[in-house]
Chains A and B, each alone.
Chain A
Amino acid sequence: MSNAATIDIVSVSKVYGSTTAVESVSLKIPAGSYCCLLGPSGCGKTTTLRMIAGHERVSAGDIRLGSSVVTDLPPASRGTAMMFQSYALFPHLDVADNVAFSLKMKGVPKEERRARALEMLKLVQLEAYANRRPAQLSGGQQQRVALARALITNPEALLLDEPLSALDPFLKVRVRAELKKLQRSLGITFVHVTHSQEEAMALADLIVVMNDGRIEQAAPPRDIFERPATAFVARFMGDHNVISGKAAGYADGMLLLDVAGGGTFAGTGPAREHGSSADIAIRTDRVRIGEPVQPGLGFTGIVQNVEYRGSSVKLSVSGAGISDFTGILSDADFFANPVKIGDAVPLCWEAQDTIVLQPLDA
């Protein structure tokens, strides 16, 4: 069944009346990869997925699946299958008929399609439920029926619209592991829309962070995490402090940044025009308590909040013109030298834990 296809989106736009939902997005999803479209609600990720599926017309641009342009093809002849957010199982049909629906539409005889549906149900371990109605199944089981129904068409790419959002947190983690396993064993391209960073990090080979109808960054999870391209990505992924200010010099491969009414910070990255606004990101988990070894790699601030998280402690600190700076300390480090709310503490970090972010209009 390994007939995965590369999905190539070429400057695709979607315009509803006067609002632009997706603005000339270009993206190449390699065959057989697990791609997550990640972003806040209204960022255009679902619209992008629906355009790949063919449930939404493309206003401009082209979509290629494998070697064929599918821009104007109906959903069923694209080689994609979609799994809907609420699963969209047919309430009047039993599980086997739901799975066999596309075969029935093709005119496959009843015996054969029931047999193939059962085979598919075996894959998702639901063959015992073949004669139940969707309403008699749990959320996780419904999700697997929807998966079986999508896969029975032998798609080259499976498109999943927030497939885990209706599940409880515990089940989410389990089903997500199953999805990844399934994708690896089928070898087909998965495109998965989600607003959960954790989900995307856990699943994806390629994370596409979207905001306001545009792609902010498309990269493997490790790149997204370690080298966020923009302030939006750094903030959305949540593992970086973003410091905004004006470029004030360049020394030793570090950009110096003046924060309005506060200190000067250094970030690893390219030089910027003097006085232009710039952002640097600092890994929250690399922040330590202590005096900085080099100016610009630390500051002293007032502890605003201390949040105990078991293996780590989250400090919220303000000072040097930064209102909310987060440091995640390991519990050992924190309790070796505990601080209280209201204390003034020096924070520091290393040069390699900082990164200069691209300007917004890049």
Chain B
Amino acid sequence: MAVMIEDTTAAAPAASRGRSARLPRMAPYLQALPLTLILGLFLLLPIIMIAVVSFWDYDFAMMYPDFMTLNYEETLGSWVTWKTYLNTLKYAVLVWAITLFTGFWVAYFLAFYVRTTGMQMVLFLVCTVPFLTSNIIRMISWIPVLGRNGLVNSMLIEGGFISAPIEWLLYSDFAVVLAMVHLYTLFIVVPIFNTLMRIDRSLIEAARDAGASDWQILWNVIIPLAKPGMAIGTIFVVTLVMADFSTVQVMSGGQSASVALMMKNQMSLMQYPAAAANAVVLLAVVLLMVAGILRVVDIRKEL
């Protein structure tokens, strides 16, 4: 054994001596360069710019480089901001709870009830079919379904269940949450499915051998082991909902606001520094939420 180890260590420098000694040392940096450039140019730089602009002054037409905290004072001091944040958090919590529940059962069904891997893949792809159309189209297609003279209302009226159309189906919080659940459930199905597939099936047999019922197995074995996947899915859904403006705008018919929608409005009024301050606050809030999730669940096993 010792001879073998000696052999390989002796052979390694001999092999690299022939090549340029600089290239192997540079190789890892070269490999990391493309991603560093992309992240630097398209993520880090814009965030720095937003942070810088958030301290600038502005009027109805122009921005003036400056260092003032007025934008933050206005953002944090306004009750509109607080109400909007509360409203956005409400959406986030509702959508998260519903997608987690439905997403878990979809993933559970795929992982434990579908027997063949072929069928699992087919059903998994079926889940992704809606993603072949754009978010906006999928959202807008709810309008003819939920509208005052839409599919649901006309069916209920013709069936004699109601006499007047239900008003809260469209342009309401209900519609916003429904559309978001529709848009984002898959983002929670995928990571949970991934963790469920990694659960050693003999653990379930061991639990059954110890006398656990199906529900006890679910509660004591499967859910605890699926937590990392749930956490990753939660991060996806929460960040998506917190940053959403189009769904809120379209599905609430402009009657509800979200933080991102508030920013969009500020930008359309050329109030870029105010929007930037808002963006920095939102970023901080979302990062805190993600940090909170990571504190509760250890996702390192999944990475």
Q: Which A residues have a C-beta under 8 Å from some C-beta of B?
A: 53, 55, 74-77, 81-82, 84-86, 88-92, 101-102, 104-106, 149-150, 153
Residue of B nearest to A85 (CB): B202
B216 at the binding interface (Cβ < 8 Å): yes
What is the distance, in angstroms, from B278's C-beta to the closest C-beta of chain A? Answer: 40
- Whether B205 pairs with A55 at a CB distance below 8 angstroms is yes
- Whether B205 pairs with A84 at a CB distance below 8 angstroms is yes
Q: Mark B218-237, 1 if CB is under 8 A from A, else 0.
A: 00110011000000000000
Which residues on B sit within 8 Å (CB–CB) of A81?
Answer: 209
Residue of A nearest to B223 (CB): A92
Which residues on B sit within 8 Å (CB–CB) of A91?
Answer: 225
Residue of B nearest to A102 (CB): B210
| Residue from A77, A82, A90, A150 in contact with B203 in the complex, judged by beta carbons closer than 8 Å | A90
- Whether A105 pairs with B202 at a CB distance below 8 angstroms is no
Residue of A nearest to B298 (CB): A92
B140 at the binding interface (Cβ < 8 Å): no
Which residues on A sit within 8 Å (CB–CB) of B225?
Answer: 91-92
Residue of A nearest to B213 (CB): A105
- Whether B205 pairs with A88 at a CB distance below 8 angstroms is yes
Which residues on B sit within 8 Å (CB–CB) of A85?
Answer: 202
B158 at the binding interface (Cβ < 8 Å): no
- Whether B206 pairs with A105 at a CB distance below 8 angstroms is no
Q: How far is the CA of A91 from the CA of B203 in the complex (A)?
A: 9
Residue of A nearest to B212 (CB): A105
What is the distance, in angstroms, from A261's C-beta to the closest C-beta of chain B? Answer: 45
B207 at the binding interface (Cβ < 8 Å): yes
State the main secondary structure of chain A at its contact with B: mixed
What is the distance, in angstroms, from A76's C-beta to the closest C-beta of chain B? Answer: 3
B208 at the binding interface (Cβ < 8 Å): yes
B211 at the binding interface (Cβ < 8 Å): yes
- Report B179-226 residues with CB < 8 Å from chain A CB: 200, 202-203, 205-213, 216, 220-221, 224-225
Which residues on A sit within 8 Å (CB–CB) of B202?
Answer: 84-86, 88
- Whether A88 pairs with B211 at a CB distance below 8 angstroms is no
Which residues on A sit within 8 Å (CB–CB) of B205?
Answer: 55, 75, 82, 84, 88
Instruction: Tell me how many residues of B have a C-beta within 8 Å of chain A.
Output: 17
What is the distance, in angstroms, from A100's C-beta to the closest C-beta of chain B? Answer: 10
State the main secondary structure of chain B at its contact with A: helix
Which residues on A sit within 8 Å (CB–CB) of B210?
Answer: 76, 101-102, 105, 149, 153
A75 touching B208 in the complex, CB below 8 Å, given contacts A92-B224, A105-B216:
yes
Q: List 18 A-B contacts (CB under 8 A).
A: A53-B209, A74-B208, A75-B205, A76-B208, A76-B210, A76-B211, A77-B211, A85-B202, A90-B206, A92-B224, A92-B225, A101-B207, A101-B212, A102-B210, A105-B207, A105-B210, A150-B209, A153-B210
- Whether B200 pairs with A86 at a CB distance below 8 angstroms is yes
Residue of B nearest to A146 (CB): B206
Residue of A nearest to B202 (CB): A88
- Whether B211 pairs with A55 at a CB distance below 8 angstroms is no
What is the distance, in angstroms, from B266's C-beta to the closest C-beta of chain A? Answer: 46
Residue of B nearest to A53 (CB): B209
Which residues on A sit within 8 Å (CB–CB) of B206?
Answer: 82, 84, 88-90, 149
Which residues on A sit within 8 Å (CB–CB) of B211?
Answer: 75-77, 102, 105-106, 153
Nearest 8 A-B pairs (CB), nearest first? Answer: A76-B211, A102-B210, A88-B206, A88-B202, A92-B224, A105-B212, A105-B211, A75-B209
Residue of B nearest to A56 (CB): B205
Q: How far is the CA of A105 from the CA of B214 in the complex (A)?
A: 11
Residue of B nearest to A100 (CB): B210
Q: How far is the CA of A77 from the CA of B208 in the complex (A)?
A: 10
Which residues on B sit within 8 Å (CB–CB) of A150?
Answer: 209
What is the distance, in angstroms, from B115's C-beta to the closest C-beta of chain A? Answer: 13
What is the distance, in angstroms, from B221's C-beta to the closest C-beta of chain A? Answer: 6
Q: Mark B25-58, 1 if CB is under 8 A from A, else 0.
A: 0000000000000000000000000000000000
Q: How far is the CA of A15 from the CA of B234 in the complex (A)?
A: 44
Q: How far is the CA of A150 from the CA of B221 in the complex (A)?
A: 17
Centre residue among B207, B210, B224 by max chain A CB count within 10 A? B210
Residue of A nearest to B221 (CB): A90
Given A102-B212, A106-B211, 18 more contacts at CB 8 Å? A55-B205, A55-B208, A55-B209, A75-B205, A75-B208, A75-B209, A76-B210, A76-B212, A86-B200, A88-B203, A90-B203, A92-B224, A101-B212, A102-B211, A105-B207, A105-B211, A105-B212, A105-B216
What is the distance, in angstroms, from B116's C-beta to the closest C-beta of chain A? Answer: 13
Q: How far is the CA of A105 from the CA of B207 in the complex (A)?
A: 9
Which residues on A sit within 8 Å (CB–CB) of B213?
Answer: 105
Q: How far is the CA of A261 from the CA of B259 in the complex (A)?
A: 93
Which residues on A sit within 8 Å (CB–CB) of B212?
Answer: 76, 101-102, 105
Q: How far is the CA of A75 from the CA of B107 in the complex (A)?
A: 27
Q: How far is the CA of A75 from the CA of B210 in the complex (A)?
A: 8
What is the distance, in angstroms, from A188's C-beta to the closest C-beta of chain B? Answer: 16
Which residues on B sit within 8 Å (CB–CB) of A105?
Answer: 207, 210-213, 216, 220
Residue of A nearest to B207 (CB): A101
- Report B243-289 residues with CB < 8 Å from chain A CB: none
Which residues on A sit within 8 Å (CB–CB) of B207?
Answer: 90, 101, 105
- Whether B220 pairs with A104 at a CB distance below 8 angstroms is yes
What is the distance, in angstroms, from B135's C-beta to the closest C-beta of chain A? Answer: 36
Residue of B nearest to A82 (CB): B209
What is the distance, in angstroms, from A72's C-beta to the closest C-beta of chain B? Answer: 15
